[in-house]
Amino acid sequence: MMSSVKKDRLGKIIDVSFFPLLIFFSLIMLIPVYILVKVSISQPVDVLTQHPTFLIRNFTWDHWIKVLTSGKLWPAFRKSFTVATLTAIFAIIIATPASYVISRLPKKVKYIVILGLFFTRMFPNVGIALPIAVKFLKWNLMDTYIGLVLAHLIEQLPFITWILVGTFEVIPVDLEKSAMIDGASRLRALMSIVIPNAAPGIAVATLFVWLNSWNEFTYALYLSLSDNTLPLQVYYYVNRGGFFQTATYATILTIPVAVVTYALQRYLKSDYLGGAIK
């Protein structure tokens, strides 16, 4: 009796505080983004003061125009976008079948393989970037898209394989067996039954790889000479001290992230497997 009263109270507290808390935490996450955008479209007088205003008072496109017409944005944008997209494509092509196989291995073997995957991620990028860069330079991969894609794959493949192993593990083997009883080959069962059911996990993995590659800095720094990626451009402006161009570049950096996240979020469903087994 007492416990049900307590539960009711807790439920009421949750009901009452849910939306205020939701708004509060959303604001905490959104305010830095707002400030970034605000600085990029404000005149210096609004920003370079002891008490900057929260709202935009003196609006200007000057910083955006400067960045958009500088001739430095589009090559960096193109490089970042191409590298992130290719990294995501290759990572999915390689990691999906690998993860499926690992997920179907005997438990002990699977554990060792997954530990092996994590072992490769135990070393910080800064520590291994130099020897990797040396190797890539020997292969003439400096300042090339393929060099950066390969470097990003080193970092991303173990991570997304691990995510996808988890995804395939929860798809019951009985589902494949049922398809095969109905006459499907193993490959057909994989393509028509397993992969569609794994779509949410694959979407999450794609999203992760794309975002990680888009934001990646260390390898880009080592392997870029003439053409920067967008994070390197932001770094350049941070180093050179221009507040407004830094904010503008950083805003531009976040736009594709928002677009890609929005495009993929429709695949992120939690109850995909409900009632799938015959």
Partner 1 sequence: MNFKKAISLFLIMVLTFAILSGCTGTKEQASKEQKVLRVSMALGESEWEVMKNKIFPIFEKENNVKIEAVQIEASDLITKLEAMHKAGKMEIDIITQDNMQLAQLVEKGLVEDLSEYRDMIPENVIKALIPVGEFNGKLYFMPYRPNVEINFYNEKKFNEYGIKPPTNWDELLKVAKTFKEKEGIGRVAIKGTLDGNTTVQLFEFIRQAGGDPLVLNDEGSIKAYTFLKELWPYLSPDSKKADWNTMNKYLATESVYYGANWPFGVNVIVRDGGKKEIKAHAGFAGPVKKSKVLGGEVIGIPVGSPNKELAVKFMQFLMSKETQELLVTEMGWPSCRTDAYGKVEEWQKPYFEAVKEALKVSQPRPNVTYWDTVDKALNDAFREIVIEGKDVKTTLDKYAKVIADAKK
Applying CB under 8 A, the residues found at the interface with partner 1 are 44-45, 47-50, 52, 70, 82, 86, 89-90, 93, 130, 133-135, 137-138, 140-146, 149, 187-188, 191, 221-222, 225-226, 228, 235-236, 238-245
Least CB distance to partner 1 at residue 213 (A):
15
Nearer to partner 1, 20 or 127 (CB): 127
Q: How far is CA 218 from the centre of its chain?
A: 16
Determine phi and psi for 55, rounding to 5 degrees: -90, 160
CA angle 249, 210, 134 (to 5 degrees): 85
Least CB distance to partner 1 at residue 137 (A):
4
Least CB distance to partner 1 at residue 258 (A):
25
Matching residue, tokens 């520590």 = 127
Query: Other CB atoms closer than 10 Å to residue 65's CB: what's the count?
Result: 11
Nearer to partner 1, 185 or 265 (CB): 185
Query: Other CB atoms closer than 10 Å to residue 168's CB: what's the count?
Result: 22
> Helix, strand or coil for residue 42?
strand
Environment class of residue 113 by beta-carbon count within 10 Å: exposed (0-12), middle (13-18) or buried (19+)?
middle
Least CB distance to partner 1 at residue 61 (A):
16
Least CB distance to partner 1 at residue 232 (A):
9
DSSP letters spanning 163-228: HHHHHHHTS-HHHHHHHHHTT--HHHHIIIIIHHHTHHHHHHHHHHHHHHHHH--HHHHHH-SSS-
Least CB distance to partner 1 at residue 242 (A):
6
Nearer to partner 1, 26 or 70 (CB): 70
Contact 83, 149 (CB under 8 A): yes
Nearer to partner 1, 76 or 114 (CB): 76
Nearer to partner 1, 144 or 254 (CB): 144
Nearer to partner 1, 43 or 254 (CB): 43
